[in-house]
Structure 1
Amino acid sequence: MKKKLGLSLAAVATLGSIALTGCGSQSATPAPSSGGTPAANQSASGQQLQIFSWWTGVASSKALNALIGVYKQQYPNVSVINEAVAGGAGSNAKAVLASRMEAGNPPGTFQVHGGNGSLLSWIQAGDMKPLNSLYTKEGWYQDFPQSLLNMLTVNGKIYAVPVDMQRANVLWYNPAIFHKYNLTPPTTFSQFFADAKVLKSHGITPLALANHGNWEATLLWSDVLLGTLGETQYNQLLSGKGSWTSPGVVSAAQTFSKMMAYTNSDYSALHWQQADQMVAQGQAAMNVQGDWAQGYFTTDLHLTPGTGFGWAPTPGTQGVFAAVTDVFGLPSKLKSDTLTLNFLKVLGSEKGQDVFNPLKGTFSPRLDANTSLYDAYSRSAMASFKKDPLALIIGQGGANPGFTNQVNNAMEIFVTNHNVNQFVSAVNSAAQANPLN
């Protein structure tokens, strides 16, 4: 991760629709949601560690509780308070976190996506401490792949611990529907549109879409962009080395607009789980989401991978792993680091991750992760993660908050008016106003 121009906290606080986290602090009594003084640890059994996340769904809540259970086994005198704030990709939690950080009342630790997005903004603002000594002590430099560590490192200093790895370029589909109409998961956009025409002729919504959180359509667009440009050109764009008005970007916008004709009309009212449910219930044939959909299918709906739901890379992205990782770090203004560092040790441990990820529907990015704990889908994702080049996703850690916010706003207009030139111009303006290099 290269050093970039930082954002002020005031600017960060205004970006209300970006993927970031929530808050929590470590103190004897729960800290207020804003204001107050820096939280301090207690020396006796009244210790509390408050963590902040957007994990409020069934699968993610079970997974986090299991992880906390591992922590409690090692530190039984510490109470862990999860101040979860619902909202897709953490959009509703962001303002709360920004308020507390600005007031000098930081959380004990908080969830954020690794990459060049919100994590980098907090690092640049001076709100995070490096964790190099923790990595050395725990042996994590050998336990995690270098490609992942690069997403958490600025100027040689590493600032967060990953708890999971998720693949964002996944086309989820209903196997029964595909079998009934003799279809195969599309590997190209031409095949996608051919399949979509067949499905639509039989009264089935080809592609379930949700955009209530104002991030889901951006994820789909990022996957279409990746599939259109390929990994090299796509990564050049997100690193500020490509043109957002290039023919490839225009082509991707045109393809996305064409795909909208095969989606459900009520997408703006649906959360991502509801789009997944449409596929599970046979109301729609396909959906594009990350691995969190796998957790919903298996833990919430109790579906079996391969029969209850199927999966494939999104069109054009075979051989590329679009990486999304949830990470936690050490806020710089805590009065004491002890409780947070102990939690981070558990978070990054083999035991902690092997308890957490199978329930979440994600997988452990540790090189020594026990693959036998995971189902067929997760094992396939793990194999891709270990061998394929990584790409980041806009809104899921792939770009700075200012750029992401403007893209989300442009997307909200684009899904309605389908004006390709206007959208491309807006994205290009976003890149100029919020440099990606």
Structure 2
Amino acid sequence: MRNRSVATLAVAGVAAVALAACGSSSDNTAPAGGGTSSLATTAGGAGGDVGVFTWWAAGSEKKGLDALEALFKEKFPNDKFVNLAVAGGAGSNAKAKLASDLQNNQPPDSFQGHAGAELADYIDAEQIEPVNDVITALGGESVFPKSLLDLLTVEGSIYSVPSNIHRANVVWANTAVLKKAGINAVPKDIKAWMADMDKVKASGVSTPLSVSGTWTQVQLFETVLVADLGVDKYNGLFTGDTKWDSAEVKAAAADYKKLLTYANTASDGDDWPVATDMVIDGKAAYNVMGDWAVAQFTDKGKKEQTDYQYFPVPGTDGVFDFLADSFTLPKGAKNPGGTKDWLMLIGSAEGQKAFNLAKGSIPARTDVPPTDFPPYQQSAMEAFKTNKIVSSIAHGAAVSLAWNADISTAISKFYSSKDDATLVSDLAAAAKKYLG
């Protein structure tokens, strides 16, 4: 199952180029009793506690969850939302606790996952139930891109409801810092970007590039892989068509090693807002972060272009490094009716608008108007329609939980050793475990 799911991603990434455009402003929200007979039929919700497990415990992520909670209380007053968020590490802390809870047959009513290979682990372990009835009630392929639903589907069963789409390969930059360094153009590739970092250092900023804990470093590394390998060879890393010890990967590892010489010293416990705030405060020029970062700038009162700017990681222009958050129906959930109320809410047009406005991502639905969103998200919606799509390593779209853990271990080890030859051999060994 795992190899099948991973191999599917490269195909799905290419197919996603043809995703439907964002369309009308109609709200296709279905009532909880719509669709199939297995959905809740009680007006105001099924009733009872609905425990929702996420890692959205701080920053724009928490604000997005807060927006959903408020709307859930309004739409399903019989239900009681119970926030089970666990902070830290792009979900690494949460996933460890979740794994324990699932193994001990103590599942939450719903938990956050990532569309793509990450879901395969839960499906293989028979820990989540299909939610085809919910997707159908929400509008199915008429409102969700088929390419996205394919990432949630195994043998005809859809295993989660997508709440958003994020882009991982975004550089966030401090406009004043760049201006002081005499940088007026977006660099074309990784080498040109490092040349600009030299200018930033010469201007008096000792750490041009900010990083946080291990998962942010995995995300930075994946964007260097995309830049140096290109879309087809990057996708080939997850099918076996591109070798993890190839010359191109070795070159990317060397570039990654050089990039870290421009970065601050981070501890593994540092989460993404630490690095993003370094750019906001002018302590760094650049940070590679998913587009949840835009809300951090907005919350600090910063204005686009005047105070900050953004662009694809150099060398990845025209590429959208994709991830999507989605929510599940765990097997053995105490309140499956309440879970389906929650899934109907997060999959609705109204829910996706409220959530994504707060979080900085874009709706997974295609019927939420771009005009409802600020400039960055409008640009991301357009990019998702027109760019070539690749799947994120750090955020579970390209690799399973176990493979991601091995990659993270290799990146963490490298952060201490700075031995890029060992990094490549560790990555190749990990790939052999999962691809054979």
Aligning the two structures, in what range does the TM-score lie when normalised by the shorter sequence? 0.7 to 0.9
Structure 1 145/311 Cα, relative in aligned 2: closer, same or farther at 3 Å?
A: same
Using the alignment, how far apart are the partners of 2:206 and 2:424 within structure 1?
27
Query: 3-state SS of the aligned residue for 2:237?
Result: helix
1:217-366 mapped onto 2 (5 Å cutoff): 217-266=217-266, 268=268, 270-299=270-299, 301-334=300-333, 336-366=335-365
The verdict on how the C-alpha distance between 1:45 and 1:261 changes in structure 2, with shifts beyond 3 A counting, is closer
Contact 1:210 1:269 in 2 (8 A): no
Question: Cα deviations across residues 126-153 of structure 1 (Å, max 9, x unaligned)?
Answer: 1111122222222121111122112211
Secondary structure of 1:80 counterpart: strand
Tell me which residue corresponds to 1:32.
none
2:148 aligned with 1:145: no
- AA at the equivalent of 1:196: M
Cα contact 2:212–2:274 (8 A) shared by 1: no
Structure 1 residues 241 and 2, CA gap change in structure 2 (3 angstroms): farther
* Cα displacement string for residues 168-197 of structure 1 (whole angstroms, at most 9, x for unaligned residues): 000110111222333123221121121011
- Partner secondary structure for residue 172 of structure 1: strand
Q: Deviations over 1:94-141 (max 9, x none)?
A: 222112211222110001111112x21001111111122222222121
CA distance in 2, matches of 1:222, 1:188: 15
Q: Give how far 1:220 is off.
A: 0.4
1:113 matched to which residue of 2?
114
Question: Which residue identity is paired with 1:311?
Answer: Y
Structure-2 residue corresponding to 1:126:
126
Distance in 2 (alpha carbons) for counterparts of 1:366 and 1:5? 23
- Counterpart CA distance in 1 for 2:360 and 2:309 is 14
Contact in 2 for aligned 1:323/1:393 (Cα 8 Å): yes
For the residue of structure 1 that corresponds to 2:49, the secondary structure is strand
Structure 2 residue matching 1:284: 3-state secondary structure: coil
Does 2:377 correspond to 1:378? yes
Equivalence map 1:65-80=2 (5 Å): 65-80=66-81
Inter-partner Cα distance in structure 2 for 1:135 and 1:84 = 24
- Aligned residue in 1 for 2:387: 388
Q: Give the secondary structure class of the aligned counterpart of 1:92.
A: helix
What count of residue pairs does the alignment treat as equivalent?
398
- Higher RCO (CA 8 Å, separation ≥ 6 residues): 2
User: How big is the alpha-carbon RMSD for the aligned residues of Structure 1 and Structure 2?
Assistant: 2.2
**C-alpha spacing 1:207/1:161, structure 2 compared with 1 (3 Å):** farther
- The one-letter amino acid of 1:195's match is D
Matched residue type, 2:333: L
Residue 341 of structure 2 aligns with an amino acid whose one-letter code is: N
Conserved 8 A contact 1:403-1:430:
yes
* Alpha-carbon shift at residue 238 of structure 1 (Å): 1.9
* Whole-Å separation in 1 of the counterparts to 2:297 and 2:411: 27
Unaligned 5+ segments in structure 2 are 7-41
CA distance in 1, matches of 2:348, 2:64: 15
The 1:123/1:204 distance shift into structure 2, 3 A limit, reads same
Contact 1:208 1:276 in 2 (8 A): no
1:246-286, Cα deviation, whole Å (9 max, x unpaired): 11100100100111111113465643211111111111111
Q: Distance in 1 between matches of 2:419 and 2:115?
A: 32
Question: How is 1:151-230 mapped onto 2 (pairs within 5 angstroms)?
Answer: 151-183=151-183, 184-205=185-206, 207-212=208-213, 214-230=214-230
TM-score, with structure 1 as normaliser: 0.86
* 1:101 match: 102
- How far does residue 204 in structure 1 lie from its aligned partner after superposition? 1.1
Partner of 1:47: 48
Cα 1:208/1:232, change in 2 over 3 Å: same
Q: Output the amino acid matched with 2:109.
A: G
Between the two proteins, what is the percent identity of the paired residues? Answer: 35
Q: Which amino acid in 1 is paired with 2:192?
A: Q
Label 1:68 to 1:5 Cα distance change in 2 as closer, same or farther (>3 A). closer
Deviation at 1:404, TM superposition (A): 1.2
Aligned to 1:20: none
Could you tell me how far 1:206 is from its partner in structure 2? 5.0
1:206-264 Cα deviation digits (max 9, x unpaired): 5433333x211111000000111111110111233321111110010010011111111
Report the TM-score, using the length of structure 2 for normalisation.
Answer: 0.86
Q: What do the CA deviations read for 1:311-340 (whole angstroms, capped 9, x no partner)?
A: 000011111110111110111223552111
Structure-2 separation of matches of 1:44 and 1:269? 39
- Quick one: distance in 2 between partners of 1:373 and 1:49? 29
Q: How does 1:5-20 map to 2 (within 5 A)?
A: none
Name the aligned partner's letter for residue 381 of structure 2. Answer: M
CA apart distance, 1:416 = 2.5
User: Where does the alignment leave 5 or more consecutive residues of structure 1 unmatched?
Assistant: 7-40
Aligned position for 1:36: none
What one-letter code is carried by the residue in structure 1 that aligns with 2:380?
A
Distance 1:236 1:326 in 2: 23
Q: What's the counterpart of residue 409 of structure 1? A: 409
Q: How far is the alpha carbon of 1:386 from its aligned partner?
A: 1.4
Q: In structure 2, how many angstroms separate the alpha carbons of the residues matched to 1:148 and 1:46?
A: 31
Aligned partners of 2:2 and 2:121 also within 8 Å:
no
**CA apart distance, 1:162:** 0.9
CA distance change for structure 1 residues 148 and 131 in 2, over 3 Å: closer, same or farther? same
Find the residue that maps to 1:265 and give its secondary structure. Answer: coil
* Aligned-partner Cα distance in 2 for 1:45–1:156: 27
Describe the SS at the equivalent of 2:172. Answer: strand
Q: Structure 1 CA distance, aligned partners of 2:372 and 2:313?
A: 25
Contact 1:143 1:367 in 2 (8 A): yes
Deviation at 1:205, TM superposition (A): 3.7
Superimposed CA distance per residue, residues 338-375 of structure 1 (whole angstroms, 9 cap, x where no aligned partner): 11111101101000010111111112121111212211
Does structure 2 retain, via aligned residues, the 8 Å contact 1:2–1:154? no
Cα distance in 2, alignment partners of residues 206 and 369 from structure 1: 40
Q: Secondary structure at the match of 2:285?
A: strand
